[in-house]
Amino acid sequence: MNEENVSAEGTSERTIIPRETVAVTIGADSQSDGFYYLLACWGRKMECWLPLTGRFVGDMRSHEVWDALSGVLGTEWLDRDGNLYRPVCAALDIQGDHYPECLEYVRAHRFKGRLHAVRGYGGTKRRQPLVRDPSEYLRR
């Protein structure tokens, strides 16, 4: 397996999370040869920072790439003040060549890191929003 860009292991955990962060999320995109991922840090006024992005490249039939993804999803980060951050939500794009494996992975890990399966627009003629208007989810 080849790891490109920055990794959580190679970055000082106390420099990765901005001080203004109130929540952390993770997104991962499945490819035919691995995963792209990003860590998003959210502020009180919907500010968003992306301090960590990367890619795991390898044989999707082996456990190496999947274990690397689990490592990122299970990482806990500290900010400079020592506050601990765990992802409040994580999403894995399951559309593509390895749909069955991705769906199985989400089912097995959905409670760890609040992992959710998402699907992009690729290959559809009629585009429909994946998420409805956020105000529909607010309690009235």
Domains of the chain, earliest start first: 2-120 (3.30.420)
pLDDT classification of 6: cutoffs 50, 70, 90: very low
pLDDT classification of 133: cutoffs 50, 70, 90: low
pTM: 0.74
The rounded distance, in Å, linking the Cα atoms of 116 and 119 is: 10
Element (H, E) at 34: strand 34-42
DSSP state of 25: E
pLDDT digits (tens, 9 = 90+) for 25-67: 999 999 999 999 999 999 999 999 999 999 999 999 999 999 9
pLDDT digits (tens, 9 = 90+) for 56-115: 999 999 999 999 999 999 999 888 888 999 999 999 998 888 889 999 999 998 877 689
Residue with tokens 């001080």: 19
- Angle (deg, nearest 10), helices 99-109 and 63-73: 40
